[in-house]
């Protein structure tokens, strides 16, 4: 059966489907020894040999779904750098997995890891409008009028940034719900109004909540 190359890479735990597309376009994927840069290329997993970083990639038949309470100070990528702490160091299983979406290094809370490319795609692509809920702490009392402006949407650095909903817990602590997922979206929104985000914790993605999972710990679950 023929499948798209980016799906094969995602289901093999190399990277999410969107990241796999970037790897293909960058010429980092070989099929039967030849670099392939065309998106949509179809391969036969039973016959074709796929390489990434000159290593043979094999599709995992077992689907893994993991939730992690990410501590501050850890990056959430498949790339590892010397002296840098990575969430893959916290989740040590034999199967290859990758983060679903991201959390900034200085942020904490709920993040998923998987080798199911289709599931990861549905959680991360903006068209699906998946809710993500955060608790944030800022350096000075918030003005509700500014939160209302954020809810209406703002153009910042060429992108429309917007929160779906909010709840003021106390003047310097807010519960936010977002559905977009732009890089550093929350921090850019609050910085626009002169606030510094001191702490950012993701507590929910779609129907899954962080609950009582201890910081730095992880667990399997079934979506």
CA distances from 11 to 137, 209, 219 (A): 37, 25, 20
> Which residues on adjacent β-strands are paired with residue 185?
none
Q: Which residues are identified as catalytic?
A: 104
Q: Alpha-carbon distance 74 to 49, whole Å? A: 33
C-alpha separations of 65 from 75, 89, 99, 100, 223 in Å: 19, 16, 10, 10, 7
CA–CA separation, 186 and 191 (whole Å): 8
Contact 66, 113 (CB under 8 A): yes
As beta bridge partners, residue 74 has 85
């Amino acid at each position: 059966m023929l499948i798209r190359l980016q799906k094969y890479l995602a289901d093999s735990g190399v990277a999410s489907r969107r990241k796999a597309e970037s790897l293909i376009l960058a010429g980092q994927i070989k099929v039967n020894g030849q670099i392939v840069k065309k998106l949509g290329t179809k391969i036969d997993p039973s016959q074709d040999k796929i390489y990434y970083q000159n290593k043979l990639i094999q599709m995992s038949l077992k689907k893994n779904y993991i939730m992690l309470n990410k501590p501050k100070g850890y990056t959430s990528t498949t790339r590892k750098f010397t002296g840098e702490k990575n969430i893959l160091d916290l989740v040590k299983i034999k199967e290859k997995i990758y983060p679903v979406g991201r959390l900034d290094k200085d942020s904490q809370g709920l993040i998923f890891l998987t080798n199911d490319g289709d599931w990861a795609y549905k959680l991360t692509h903006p068209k699906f409008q998946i809710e993500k809920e955060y608790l944030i702490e800022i350096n000075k009392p918030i003005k509700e009028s500014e939160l209302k402006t954020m809810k209406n949407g703002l153009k910042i650095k060429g992108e429309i940034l917007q929160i779906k909903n909010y709840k003021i817990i106390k003047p310097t602590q807010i519960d936010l719900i977002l559905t977009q997922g732009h890089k550093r979206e929350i921090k850019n929104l609050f910085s626009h109004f002169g606030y510094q985000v001191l702490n950012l914790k993701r507590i929910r993605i779609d129907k899954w909540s962080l609950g009582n999972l201890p910081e730095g710990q992880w667990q399997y679950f079934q979506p």
